[in-house]
A and B are shown apart, each in its own frame.
Chain A
Amino acid sequence: MLIAAILALAIGTYTMRLAGVLLRERLDLPAGLQRLLPMAAATLLTALAATAALTDGGGFAGVARPAGVAVGAVVAWRRAPFVVVVVAAAATAALLRLAGID
């Protein structure tokens, strides 16, 4: 049962990944839709970042995580390198938690 569940999740996930890649090659999409696809992907990624920053298991994520993400976002907006963004966000959240603010 355990291995069947893992296999089902793996096959289903791979199928969805491959479906998008193969469909794109087979379909002759109109220009408006072609312009919309990267926008759809950017929208999904932004929503992923926003929900991961602000929520945890359906509730609010507390203070430390959103604060860390906010610091990272400001640093990114000032065009700092990727590694600086990641470290600034993680360090802010970790230090806030160390100070007892979660």
Chain B
Amino acid sequence: MRTSSRTPDRALRRDAAALAAAMVAVGASFGAITIAYGLPVWVPVLMSLIVFAGGSQFLAVGLIAAGNPVAAVLAGLLLNARHLPFGLAVAQAAGPRLRHRLIGSHLMTDEVVAFTLAEQDPARRRRTYWLIGVTLFTSWNAGTALGVWLGGATGDPTVLGLDAAFPAGLIALILPSLRDRDTRLAALAGAGVAVLLTPVLPAGLPVLCALLGLAALIRPRRRRPAGDHPATDPAVRQEAATC
């Protein structure tokens, strides 16, 4: 998508601007919803600054408003547990120095990881990580402040269809990775597991269970004479055996 463009950095900035606009809108609805729950003004502002993980913030204020702060913490942490494998996957993109890793870690979100994985070159990965990370942090917090300021106004992201925009944006970012056969197999199997488990497990756990999709890559080694299975690619079998 972006890699085919002649001016990749301009394309990246344009993508970042589109994401920022959507983030301001969702952040504003988060701020407005929190105020509508009757929580103090500093709650959404502080959360957006120090938690900076949209889904878990919505979940947490809902549970806090329901009078269950312990559940809010546990559910929020469960939802954010995917950041540990994310960190393992994009660690190099944050930067070589401890300072980069300490600050860069806080900027890690689903969108940052998806944008970063869509790049191949290490230098571009790093630029992408920081550009998208800083853009999202800024727009998310500006949006939260806007929502708090607007207060009672409707904080419903579904009116603008923003609930559909985010999964669609994620899909656009993951598509290049899915061109790899093994990744596609694991991702689709994992997504199926997650969707099927969503009605029966607490929020956050189904997505983690998607890692079971990686088991789809384990194939039994066939010990048959060469030529018996001309369609089987030996390179693919080799890769599967190393996993």
Whether B87 contacts A24 by the Cβ 8 Å rule is: yes
Total interface residues on A, using CB and 8 Å? 77
CB interface residues, B 23-61, toward A, < 8 Å: 39-40, 43, 46-47, 50-53, 56, 60
User: Can you list, as one digit per residue, whether each of B85-111 has a CB less than 8 Å from chain A (1) or not (0)?
Assistant: 111111110100000011011101010
Given A22-B101, A82-B1, A89-B165, the answer on whether A97 and B91 have CB atoms closer than 8 Å is no
| A12-B77, A16-B83 given; A45·B110 CB < 8 A | yes
C-alpha spacing A20/B89, complex, angstroms:
8
Closest to B49 in A: A10
Complex Cα distance, B213 from A45, in Å, reads: 12
Q: Which of B72, B84, B171, B217 has the most CB of A within 10 A?
A: B171
Determine if B18 and A20 form an interchain contact, defined as CB atoms under 8 angstroms apart: no
A32 within 8 A of partner (CB): yes
Residue in A12, A45, A49 whose CB lies within 8 Å of B80? A12
Task: Please encode chain A, from 49 to 81, with 1 for each CB lying within 8 Å of some chain B CB and 0 for all others.
Answer: 111111110110100111111011100110101
Q: Is the CB of B108 within 8 A of A44?
A: no
In the assembled complex, how far is the CB of residue A44 from the closest CB belonging to chain B, in whole angstroms? 5
Which of chain A's residues has its CB closest to B12's CB?
A: A82
B174 touches A45 (CB 8 A): yes
Q: In the complex where A9-B60, A69-B164 touch, is A83 in contact with B193 (Cβ < 8 A)?
A: no
User: Chain A interface secondary structure, helix, strand, loop or mixed?
Assistant: helix
A92 to B163, CA, bound (A): 11
- Does A23 belong to the interface (CB within 8 Å)? yes
Given contacts A43-B210, A46-B178, A77-B175, contact A23 B87 (CB under 8 A): yes
Q: Is the CB of B171 within 8 A of A72?
A: yes
CB of B194 closer than 8 Å to a CB of A: yes
Interface string of A1-31 (1 = CB under 8 A from B): 1111111111011101111111111000001
Q: State how many angstroms separate the Cβ of A31 from the closest Cβ of chain B.
A: 7
Q: Is the CB of B86 within 8 A of A20?
A: yes
Report the separation of the CA atoms of residues A68 and B159 in the bound assembly, to the nearest whole angstrom. 13
For the complex, give the distance between the alpha carbons of A82 and B86 in Å: 22
Determine if A54 and B1 form an interchain contact, defined as CB atoms under 8 angstroms apart: no
B91 near A21 with CB under 8 A, answer: yes
Q: How far is the CA of A51 from the CA of B198 in the complex (A)?
A: 7
**A11 to B111, alpha carbons, bound, how many Å?**
21
Interface assignment of B136: CB less than 8 Å from any CB of chain A:
no
- Of A16, A91, A92, the most chain B CB neighbours within 10 A belong to A16
Could you show 11 A-B contacts with beta carbons less than 8 Å apart?
A3-B46, A9-B72, A12-B77, A17-B86, A23-B91, A36-B214, A39-B187, A44-B190, A46-B190, A47-B194, A68-B165
Give 4 nearest A-B pairs by CB, closest first: A20-B87, A72-B168, A68-B164, A47-B210
Add 11 more A-B contacts to A13-B83, A88-B168 (CB < 8 A). A5-B73, A14-B50, A17-B108, A25-B101, A37-B89, A39-B187, A42-B186, A45-B113, A50-B195, A51-B206, A66-B164
